[in-house]
Amino acid sequence: MDEDAIVSLLIEEAAPNSQPLEALDQQQFHIRLANSAGQREAASLLLQKMYGWRGYEVDPAAPHLPNRITLAADSQGETVGTMSLCLDDPAIGLPADENFGDILGELRAQGRRLCEPARLAIDRNVNMRVFAALIHISYVYAHNLHGCTDYVIEVNPRHVMFYQRMLGFRELAPERHCNRVGAPAVLLRLDLDYMREQIARHGGRMEARGERSFYPFFFSPSDEAGITVRLREGRN
């Protein structure tokens, strides 16, 4: 995929504080594929910074696998958010196979097409919309472009309720030790049809009251349709 042909998605983003959006100066965030060595290095440095701050281990020299898409959020030339999307591959599998291969094998046997968001890091000084935008664009790649049916993720037990409440994940397997980060991990699953329904209902409606998930911070369905076309054209 040609780097210059990849869509650069501009988000008008408020500075991170509790004031109303309309009362703030706007920051510009670009969400793009990190598909050059320099971009991946910047994403890796953010991972090391944020994981180290929480006391987790992260391998800065982890290879860039062919089934992995890495997204980066940039603001004023600085990488402020990153995540990877790992697409299931018969020869490579998913990172979660290391600890939960038996569980993932059962899903595959049911005909589910899996993918795994991984290596997520968000700078503490940016707004939650960066997190929502990264997740939403990974969903576009996973569901709209690659036909995936499920996210599976490994999270620290302390973070399980967050992902359940804010995105609708369900626990798929109880705690096991994750050697990659040197900490315990719980396996969660999210049916992407559920995510599609939530985006259709809440996406782009930040002004809505009463909805406490991240979905109002996602793009609107019409914006998603445009993003899907642009990413598909960039891929081809």
Domain that holds residue 212: 3-235
d(CA 233, CA 199) in angstroms, rounded, equals 22
Q: At what angle do helices 128-139 and 221-235 cross, to 10 degrees?
A: 60
The pTM score is: 0.78
Q: For 169-189, write each residue's pLDDT tens digit.
A: 999 999 998 887 778 999 999
CATH number at residue 92: 3.40.630.30
Taking only the tens place, the pLDDT of each residue in 11-38 is 333 333 333 333 223 456 677 765 545 4
Residue among 101, 91, 159 nearest 131 (CA):
159
**How many domains would you assign to the chain?**
1
CB atoms within 10 A of CB 100: 22
